[in-house]
Amino acid sequence: MSVTVYQTFVIKQEKFKEGIENLREIKKFRMENYHHKVDILTPISGKDHTYALLSTYEGLAEMELQNKKMFEDEEYLELIGPFFLENIVENSMYTQIFRSLRDQPKEKEKK
Residue-wise pLDDT tens digits, 39-85: 999 999 988 899 999 999 999 999 999 999 999 999 999 999 989 99
Residue-wise pLDDT tens digits, 21-45: 999 999 999 999 998 899 999 999 9
Q: Where are the domains of the chain?
A: 3-98
Report the number of secondary-structure helices (H) and strands (E) in the chain.
Answer: 3, 4
- Domain 3-98 in CATH 3.40.605.10? The answer is no
What's the CA angle centered on 23, arms 95 and 98, to 5 degrees? 25
